[in-house]
Structure 1
């Protein structure tokens, strides 16, 4: 089974090398590693050239943003499974891909959902983001599994489409809604902690970002014909606290 890992980057010189080495250190051999660079202006390209022997395919050209770059990566992929590894993240261990492949071989599924850990720049882990209790119905109140923990059968993109460029930071939410809730793909919780993710990111920084993703969550659900409560989505932060206290 071939697995395609896609990393999109732009001016990622401070982090991309760790990401590349994380893929290169995987125990599983049949990995197609694709990097899509958005025409970086720092020395990202020098780092990519330095590690070309560890990268299956890479391009560097202007794009229309993060999700356009992801779609380019999906179009380049030839693997049976597709996973996303952000340019400032690493795999949690060197057996992640081997574990994912074994899980998919044992289960007749179209996608697996796992966990990630979030850490600060000094390496200190501040959160385990688990999908153990997640269900697709929770999308209607603003909860999605961590995007980097999901591994999709490549055929799903041909069948149901790619990331929608009409979203600024919520195209992953819309795609997950379209796949899991609207089209009811077959999936399982893997229990695998796939990714070590640096705290921060496009959709996790500040009040303005919270307001924007709230708006885009509602847009994603409405586009897919899913009924939802705007109040519950706006108050999702409090549901997270309540759930944490119950645990």
Structure 2
């Protein structure tokens, strides 16, 4: 295997559980700690797979169940899996129909109390599992870490925020398209609650995580937020998209079509209050995209753009007058103020 430096290629001398403030004494048996299940779906991501696997195995967590599901890769993934197979609880190598199907295959073997999946182009950060076990309160349903973003070279992307803070997570906010921040690698679920809400919908490929989190929070809404970075999300051409990622028209159409399917399903199954939130979200989505386009247009006067947004918002105030719109207007006016020369004042 290729020699590299830094986490997770080199071990660290300090205890990984130092971040959580808890060091597990040797007298504590592994079965006295919550069992944590991590599933990694992989298909032809051999370039990154070893880093992902090592980031999980090097967590120094005594009660880990790690499952890797490979969908018939034809690259170096097989070599990586052969090298680490003895350290992985279950390795499944067979064709699947996509990421959601692969994760569901892994869940058939899962026995953990706490669960998340980490894609084979992402990684866990040091101490994540120890903090999770030490700090995940019984009164909380979902544990939310912050997530860092890197490119293929391990650097923060130039045109993207280098950090995603999971915040304001609720089924209603996500359905209404209210301001919220959501990045799946930082979210950890109670396994019992995951099954109770219906689990992962394997018929979905693009938005199955969004669908799951909404259904999960609709029944189990208590989120515990951490200020620690729990995972890395890698931004590259083949990754699942986030808001800043440029995507092709065909991919965008596929995402939009699946999004419509998800909303239609949720509007049938969720409470009337959440169904109404989803219908409002349908109206807000194109408006939010328009607001983002206005912010990205530096050729137009910021004042003209701000006034234009205010005039347009009047046409559908329920959907368009929102915190997101207000924040955009403030940003435009601030941009104007910064760029306006101050008059010279002579003494």
Partner of 2:173 in structure 1?
Answer: 138
Offset of residue 54 of structure 1: 2.3
Partner of 1:165 in structure 2?
Answer: 202
Counterpart pick for 1:194 among 206, 214, 230: 230
TM-score by structure 2 length? 0.64
What pairs up with 1:44-83 in 2 under 5 angstroms? 44-83=77-116
Question: Please, what is the CA RMSD of the aligned residues?
Answer: 2.3
Q: Tell me the secondary structure at the aligned position of residue 87 of structure 1.
A: coil
User: Does the Cα contact within 8 Å between 2:51 and 2:123 map onto a contact in 1?
Assistant: yes
Partner of 1:206 in structure 2?
Answer: 247
Partner of 1:98 in structure 2?
Answer: 130
Task: Call closer, same or farther: CA 1:128–1:70 in 2, change over 3 Å.
Answer: same
Counterpart pick for 2:69 among 36, 51, 70: 36
Offset of residue 23 of structure 1: 1.0
Moved more, 207-216 or 237-246: 237-246
Task: Call closer, same or farther: CA 1:219–1:187 in 2, change over 3 Å.
Answer: same
Task: Call closer, same or farther: CA 1:99–1:158 in 2, change over 3 Å.
Answer: same
Between structure 1 and structure 2, the one with the greater Rg is 2
Q: Deviations over 1:4-31 (max 9, x none)?
A: 0110001121110111111121132211
Task: Call closer, same or farther: CA 1:236–1:113 in 2, change over 3 Å.
Answer: farther
For structure 1, the residue ranges without an aligned partner over 5 or more in a row are none
User: Does the Cα contact within 8 Å between 2:46 and 2:75 map onto a contact in 1?
Assistant: yes
What pairs up with 1:217-232 in 2 under 5 angstroms? 217-225=259-267, 226-227=275-276, 228-229=279-280, 230-232=282-284
Offset of residue 235 of structure 1: 3.6
Task: Call closer, same or farther: CA 1:239–1:101 in 2, change over 3 Å.
Answer: farther
TM-score by structure 1 length? 0.88
Offset of residue 237 of structure 1: 4.4
User: Does the Cα contact within 8 Å between 1:10 and 1:40 map onto a contact in 2?
Assistant: yes
State the aligned residue count: 243
Q: Which has the higher contact order (CA 8 A, sep 6+)?
A: 1
Moved more, 189-198 or 132-141: 132-141
Partner of 1:120 in structure 2?
Answer: 151
Q: Deviations over 1:161-208 (max 9, x none)?
A: 222133230111111111113x24433223332111111312344143
Query: Distance between the aligned counterparts of 2:291 and 2:221, measured in 1?
Result: 26
For structure 2, the residue ranges without an aligned partner over 5 or more in a row are 1-33, 268-274, 296-323, 332-347
Query: Distance between the aligned counterparts of 2:59 and 2:138, measured in 1?
Result: 22
What pairs up with 1:140-155 in 2 under 5 angstroms? 140-142=175-177, 145-155=182-192
Q: Tell me the secondary structure at the aligned position of residue 172 of structure 1.
A: helix
